[in-house]
Structure 1
Amino acid sequence: MSMFGGGFGGPGGGPGSGPMGGLSGVGAGRGTRRTGDTLPFAGVPDELAAGVRRLEDAEPEHGVPEDRFGHRPPEGPALSLLSLLTRRRGVFLAACVTILAETLLLQAGPYLVQVGIDHGIVARDLPVLLWSAGAFTAAVLAGWATTTARMRQTGALAADAMRHLRVRVFAHLQRLSMDYYTEEKAGVIMTRMSSDIESLQQLLQEGLAQFAVQGLTMVVVTAVLFHYDAGLAAITLLLVVPALFAASVWFRRASDVGYARQRDAIAAMFTDLAESLHGVRVVTAHHREDRNIAQHRTVVGRYRDANDFTGHISAIYGPGTSVIGLLGMAALLLIGGRMVLRGQLSIGELTAFVLYLNAFFAPVQQLVQLYTNYQQSRAAVAKLRTLLGQAPTVAERADPVELPPVAGGIVFEKVVFGYDPARPVLRGVDLRIEPGETIACVGPTGAGKSTLAKLVTRLHDPDSGRVLIDGHDLRDVSLVSLRRQIGVVPQEPFMFAGSIRDNVAFARPGASEAEIWAAIDAVGLRDLVERTDAGLDATLHERGQSVSSGQRQLLALARAFLAQPRVVVLDEATSNLDLRSELRVEQALDRLLEGRTALLIAHRLSTAMRADRIVVLDESGVVEIGSHAELLAAEGRYADMFATWSRHR
C-alpha cells in the first residue's frame, strides 16, 4: 500500500514520519507518559509527592455530576445574573449575611474614633481611649474574618455557577441543528464559551460582592450622617448626589453602547483567528500571510477602537466623580468647621463626619470599575441569552416514539427541501428503498445527493413531505433511537484528539478490545496499528492531522463497522484512497453492507455500479432510477454520464 509509506503519516501519507507518523507513543517507561507532541511527563517528583497527597486529602468531595443531555431544551428560568446566583440558595444566603456583617464592621471605625477623641482625648480619660483603640482593633480583626468568610462563599458560588453555565451552553450547542453551524462563525461560538463566560466569572466571584459591600456602605454612611446632624448631611449630600446621579446616568448609557461594541469586536477577532488557524495550510500554500496579517490588523483595530471608546468614557466619569467628592469634602469642612466654632458640633463628631463622608465617596471610585465589569458581564449575558434562546430547527417532539430495531426500509414521500426555502434543492422527491437494498445517488454537484443523506440521518427536516423508516415518520421518533441505528461515513471524516481506540469506539464506547480489533481487521489496519509501541493507545493529534486523509477514511470505516448500524450512509467513502486501498476498502464495505440498507453518495461511477439501484438527480430532482444495466439500456442521463466517465478514466 503505497499510500502508507511504511507507517501512518509517512511518505505518501500525512504529516510526520516513522511508524504511525506523528502518533505519540504511550508508556515510554515506568511512571512515564507522553502528551501532546510526544512531550514526556514522568509523573510527580518524589519530593513533591507528599504535598500533592495532602492537597488531594484536603480536596472536598464534589459528588458525581448529574448532567444529562436531552434533545429538548430543559425547562427553567431564562439566563440572568440572579438565576446564576440563587442556584445554591444556602451559599447565597450565607454570602449575603457575611456581606452585611463586613459592611457594618468596616463602618465601626469612624464612630470609635469619635468616641476616642470626644470621651478619651478631650475628656483626658485614658481607659476610654484604650477601650476605643482596643475596640477599633477588634473591629478590624472581625472585619478580616468576615471578609475571608465572604470570599469563600462567593468563590464557591461563582465556581458552581460557572460550571453550570459552561455545561448548559455546551449542551445547548450540542442540541442545535446543523444549519446553526452553517450560518454562525466558529469564532463567535468560541467567544460565547470563553470570553463571555470568563467575564461573568470575574463578576460573580468578586465583583458583585464588592458592588454590594460598597453600595451598602453608601446606605449605612448616609444613615449615620443624618444621625449625627441631619442639616449638615442634607446640605452636603444635596451638593454632590445630583451631580453624581447625572454623571452615572450618562456613563450607563454610553457604556451600554461601548461594551456591546467590545463583545462584538472580540467575537470578530476570535472568528478571524480560528479561520486562519484552521486554514493554515491553504494560507501557506497560496502565500497569503501578508494579506491575512493586514486583515487581522483591521479586526484587532476595531477591538482597539471599542476599548478606546470605553476607556474614554471611564476617563471622564472616574476623575469627574473624584472632583465632585472633593468639592463636597471642602464644603463639609467649611460648614462643619463653623459649627464646631459655634459649639454646635464636637471635634470628634466633625472628624467622624469627615471620615464617614470620605467613606461615602470612596466607594464611588470602586463602583466605577465594578460598574464597568458589570456592564461587560451584562453584555455577555445578553449574548449568551440569545444563544440559549436559539431553538434547534430539527426539534424532538415532547413525546417521541422509541424507534424499534428496524429492517431498514426507507421511503421519501413528495419531499421538498431547500437550505434557503426560496430555492429548493429537492423538489417532490418520491423514492422507496427496500430493506437490505443498496442505493447509489449520482448527479452533478448541487443536485441534492448529500441532502438526501442528511434527511435520512435527520440532520435536517423536509420543508414538506415525509421521510420514513419502516413506516415511522422520522419527526415522530426519538433522535437517540434513530441515530443509534444509522451509521455515517462522511467524505471528510473527522478524528478527535485522543487514541485510536477512542476514535474507533466513538459510537460504542463500551466495546471490548476484541470488538475494536475486529473492526480494525475489517478495514485491514492491524499490521499498521501494531507497528507502534502503543498499539490502539497511540495518539491521534487534533483533527487527525498526524495521519493521512486516506488513513482517516479507513479509521472512519472501522468506526462504522464497530457501530453495527441497521442503515449505512456513505458519502463517497473511497474518494480519498488510491486504487489498491480502494479495492481493500470495497471488500470490507461488502461485509459492512451485507444485510443492511445502504445509501451511497457516489462521485465515482465505479462505486455506483456496485449498487442494487442507481438514483440519478439533477437540478429538477430525480430523473432516473434503475440498475446499472437498466440505465445504460435506457440511454438517458446516466448513460451519457457513464460514456463520459469511461472516456476519461
Structure 2
Amino acid sequence: MKLPVASPGEVRAEAGELFQQHRGPLSLALSLHVIAAALGLAGPFLLGTMVDAVANGTSTTRIDVLAATLAACILAQALFTRAAVRRSLVLGEKVFAELRETFIARILRLPLSTVERAGTGDLIARTTGDIDALARTVRFAVPEILIAIVTTVLTLAAAILTGPFVAAGAIVGGPLLYAGTRWYLNRARQGYLWERAAYATLDGTVTETVDAARTIENLGLAGVRVRRTESDLAEAYATERRTLFLRSVWFPTAELSYVLPVAATLAWGAWLASAGWATVGQVAAVVLYMVQIVDPVDRLVSWLDELQVGTSSLARVVGVAKVPDDREPTGAAPDGEDIHADDVRYAYVDGQDVLHGVSLELRPGERLAMVGPSGAGKSTLGRLLAGIHPTRAGRVAVGGVELVALELDQLRREVVLVTQEHHVFVGTLRDNLALAAPSASDDELRQALDAVDAREWADALPDGLDTVVGSGGHSVGPARAQQIALARIVLADPHTLVLDEATSLLDPRAARHLERSLSAVLHGRTVVAIAHRLHTAHDADRVGVVEEGRISELGSHHELVEHGGAYAKLWESWHGRSPT
C-alpha cells in the first residue's frame, strides 16, 4: 500500500493558504525587492544618459552629477537588497517551520493500520528526503523565483520606456523560452514524482534488509535481498536519467532564449541608431538592460527546476492528509471492561481474509494466551482486539462500545498493544518513561521500572533517570529498550493489555521472570499474550489456539493437553516430551 499523493490543485490550494497566512510579511519582502530592483534599473538608464551627454558635448558638471547619482543608487540598492533578502529568509524559515509542524501533526494522526500497511520506506522517504527538498524550495527557491520575476518584469518595463523601438529586439527569445518551458513543465511533475517514489521504495528495501539482517542471513536470503536492492537501484537510476534528460533539453534551450535578445537588440539598435530612429544612448541603455536581464532569467530557469522538485515533494507531504480515518468516534463511553469480538473478519488484501469469523469473549481480569503457527493470524487478531485495525466485518467492542467508535485517547485508556518492536527516543530516561504519563512522579517512574525488572540497571546509570539515552546517548540494548517500552505500558495503566511477543528479545529465563512480574503488577487486569514460548500458555487462565485465521481450540492448559488436539502437539513439540 502506498500513501496517497496530492493533486496539483490540492498543492496549489495548500500553497495559496500558506501565502494567505503570511500575506503581510510576504508583501513587505516583495516591496523591498521591488525597490531594490527599481534602484538597479537606474544604472543602464544613467549610463545611457551619460553616453548621450558626452555625444552632445554636455558639460562635465552634468556628467559628474549623473555619476554621483549612479553611485548613490548602487549603494541604496545594496542596502534594500540586504533588507529584502533578510526578510525573505526569515519568512521562508517561518513557512517551512509551519509546514514541518503540520506534517508531523498529520503523520501522528495517521491510522496505525495505514502505517503498518504502507511500510517504513515511503514514510521515511517523506519525512527525510521530501522534507529536505521542500526545505530548500521554501527557503531559497520560492524567494529567488519571486525576486527573479519582479526583476525581469521591471527590467523589461524599463527597457521599453527607455527605447520602445530598440526593446523590440527582446521579443526574439520569447517564443523559444515559452516553448521550451512548456515542454519541460508538462513532463517534470510526473518525472520527479516517479523519482521520489523510486527512492522511497529503495529506502524501504534497504531499511528492511538492515533491520532483518540476522533473519536474512539465517534463512539464506542474502542473494534475494541483493537482487531486490539492485532492482530498486535500477529503477532509481532510470528515474534520474529521465529527469536529467528533461533538464538537458530545457536548460540549453532556456540559455539560448535569453542570450539571443542581447545580440538581436544590439544589431537592431545599431540599425535604428544609423537610421535616426534611436540615439546611441538609448541603444546602450537597452542593450545593458538585456544584459542585466540575463541574470534574473537564468536564476528563474535554475530555480524553476528546483521548484518542480519541491512541488513534487509538497504533493507527497500534503498527500498524507488525504489518508482517510479508519475510526468513527461517537463520544460514547464504555460501560464495563469486557471485550467481545463477534464474527470478526479481516483482510490485508481485498478478497483474501486472514481472519474468518472469529468470536471471542475476554473475561475481565483473565490471562488469555494465543498460540499457533506463524501466519495463523494471532498478531492480526491481537491488533483487532487492541483497536489498531478496524474489522472488515463483525465487531470488536469494549463495554458495549465498538473500539473504532472510541477516540484514540479513550481507546488507549481501555486497551494497549505492545509488540516486539520498540523505540528509545533521544532524551533522558525520565523523558522516555513520562511519554505514557507526563504527570508521573520519579517514585512512580521507578516503580514502573521495578515492575518490569529494570530498576537495578536503571539506578546504575550514570545519572539515573536523568541519563540521556537513545541515539548519541547512553547505549541501551534491545532487551532493556523493550523493558522501557513495557514500563511505559505499566504507567499508561490500561485495564486490558495485548502483548504480541513482547518479550521475544529477552533470553528465556529473563522473559519468564519478566512475564511473571507483569502478572503480579497487572493483577485484576485483562492480559492477552501472543507468544511462541508456551510457558506463557501454561501460566494463563485460558489458551486460544489460532489456526488458519480461526480459533480452533479454547480452554485452560490442562484441558487442552488432555484433549490431545493441536495444542497438545505444540506443547509436546516445544517441551520435548509427552504432554502432562
Shorter-chain TM-score bucket reads 0.7 to 0.9
Show the counterpart of 1:395.
Answer: 327
User: 2: distance between equivalents of 1:544 and 1:615?
Assistant: 42
Show the counterpart of 2:6.
Answer: none
Show the counterpart of 2:298.
Answer: 365
- What's the CA shift for 1:462? 0.8
| SS of alignment partner, residue 424 of structure 1 | strand
CA contact (8 A) 2:166 2:278 kept: no
- What's the CA shift for 1:471? 1.4
Show the counterpart of 1:509.
Answer: 438
CA contact (8 A) 1:196 1:381 kept: yes
User: 2: distance between equivalents of 1:630 and 1:269?
Assistant: 50
Show the counterpart of 1:445.
Answer: 374
CA offset digits 1:108-142 (Å, max 9, x no partner): 21111222222466332223212211221122122
Change (3 A) 1:305 1:575: closer
User: 2: distance between equivalents of 1:326 and 1:553?
Assistant: 64
Change (3 A) 1:633 1:160: same
| SS of alignment partner, residue 614 of structure 1 | strand
CA contact (8 A) 1:103 1:216 kept: yes
**Mapping of residues 329-408 of structure 1, within 5 Å:** 329-392=262-325, 394-397=326-329, 400-401=330-331, 403=333, 407-408=336-337
CA contact (8 A) 1:426 1:621 kept: yes
Q: Say whether residues 1:147 and 2:76 are aligned partners.
A: no
TM-score by length of 1: 0.78
Show the counterpart of 2:192.
Answer: 259
**Mapping of residues 296-335 of structure 1, within 5 Å:** 299=232, 303=236, 306-335=239-268
CA contact (8 A) 2:332 2:401 kept: no
User: Residue type matched to 1:333 in 2?
Assistant: L
User: Residue type matched to 1:133 in 2?
Assistant: A
- What's the CA shift for 1:412? 1.2
**Mapping of residues 8-157 of structure 1, within 5 Å:** 80-119=14-53, 122-157=56-91
CA contact (8 A) 1:118 1:348 kept: yes
| SS of alignment partner, residue 328 of structure 1 | helix
**Mapping of residues 414-433 of structure 1, within 5 Å:** 414-433=343-362
User: 2: distance between equivalents of 1:625 and 1:293?
Assistant: 43
- What's the CA shift for 1:460? 0.3
Please, which of 435, 444, 447 is the counterpart of residue 518 of structure 1?
447
Please, which of 83, 92, 95 is the counterpart of residue 161 of structure 1?
95
User: 1: distance between equivalents of 2:211 and 2:319?
Assistant: 26
- What's the CA shift for 1:150? 1.5
| SS of alignment partner, residue 425 of structure 1 | strand
- What's the CA shift for 1:518? 1.5
CA offset digits 1:360-382 (Å, max 9, x no partner): 44433222212211221122222
User: 2: distance between equivalents of 1:387 and 1:588?
Assistant: 41
User: Residue type matched to 2:331 in 1?
Assistant: V
CA contact (8 A) 2:159 2:285 kept: no
- What's the CA shift for 1:430? 2.2
CA contact (8 A) 1:540 1:546 kept: yes
- What's the CA shift for 1:582? 4.3
User: 2: distance between equivalents of 1:583 and 1:542?
Assistant: 29
| SS of alignment partner, residue 352 of structure 2 | coil
CA contact (8 A) 1:187 1:270 kept: yes
State which drifts further: 298-307 or 136-145.
298-307
Structure with the larger helix share: 2
Change (3 A) 1:210 1:540: closer
Show the counterpart of 2:148.
Answer: 214
- What's the CA shift for 1:461? 0.7
Q: Say whether residues 1:413 and 2:342 are aligned partners.
A: yes
User: 2: distance between equivalents of 1:171 and 1:216?
Assistant: 35
User: 2: distance between equivalents of 1:262 and 1:637?
Assistant: 50
- What's the CA shift for 1:211? 1.9
| SS of alignment partner, residue 251 of structure 1 | helix
Q: Say whether residues 1:457 and 2:391 are aligned partners.
A: no
User: 2: distance between equivalents of 1:523 and 1:148?
Assistant: 59
Change (3 A) 1:539 1:428: same
State which drifts further: 158-167 or 518-527.
518-527
User: 2: distance between equivalents of 1:252 and 1:487?
Assistant: 49
Change (3 A) 1:276 1:425: closer
User: 2: distance between equivalents of 1:318 and 1:582?
Assistant: 63
CA contact (8 A) 2:378 2:546 kept: yes
Unaligned runs of 5+ in 2: 1-9
Change (3 A) 1:214 1:493: closer
| SS of alignment partner, residue 247 of structure 2 | helix
Change (3 A) 1:241 1:587: closer
CA contact (8 A) 1:402 1:478 kept: no
Change (3 A) 1:358 1:614: same
- What's the CA shift for 1:514? 0.9
CA offset digits 1:144-191 (Å, max 9, x no partner): 122112212211221111111112222222222233333334233222
- What's the CA shift for 1:463? 0.9
User: 1: distance between equivalents of 2:101 and 2:72?
Assistant: 44
User: 2: distance between equivalents of 1:620 and 1:313?
Assistant: 51
CA contact (8 A) 1:403 1:478 kept: no
CA offset digits 1:6-59 (Å, max 9, x no partner): xxxxxxxxxxxxxxxxxxxxxxxxxxxxxxxxxxxxxxxxxxxxxxxxxxxxxx
The count of aligned residue pairs is 569
Show the counterpart of 2:410.
Answer: 481
User: 1: distance between equivalents of 2:68 and 2:150?
Assistant: 25
Please, which of 180, 183, 186 is the counterpart of residue 250 of structure 1?
183
**Mapping of residues 568-587 of structure 1, within 5 Å:** 568-578=497-507, 580-587=509-516
Change (3 A) 1:308 1:90: same
State which drifts further: 288-297 or 467-476.
288-297
CA contact (8 A) 1:217 1:359 kept: no
Q: Say whether residues 1:172 and 2:101 are aligned partners.
A: no
| SS of alignment partner, residue 508 of structure 1 | coil
Change (3 A) 1:530 1:132: same
| SS of alignment partner, residue 104 of structure 1 | helix
- What's the CA shift for 1:574? 4.6
State which drifts further: 594-603 or 523-532.
523-532
| SS of alignment partner, residue 345 of structure 1 | coil
- What's the CA shift for 1:315? 4.0
- What's the CA shift for 1:480? 0.5
Identical aligned residues as a percent: 30
Show the counterpart of 1:591.
Answer: 520
CA contact (8 A) 1:162 1:197 kept: no
User: 1: distance between equivalents of 2:471 and 2:459?
Assistant: 21
User: 2: distance between equivalents of 1:499 and 1:175?
Assistant: 25
Show the counterpart of 2:541.
Answer: 612
CA contact (8 A) 1:120 1:127 kept: no
User: Residue type matched to 1:382 in 2?
Assistant: A
TM-score by length of 2: 0.87
Change (3 A) 1:468 1:357: same
- What's the CA shift for 1:595? 1.2
- What's the CA shift for 1:246? 2.0
User: 2: distance between equivalents of 1:430 and 1:574?
Assistant: 27
| SS of alignment partner, residue 370 of structure 2 | strand
| SS of alignment partner, residue 609 of structure 1 | helix
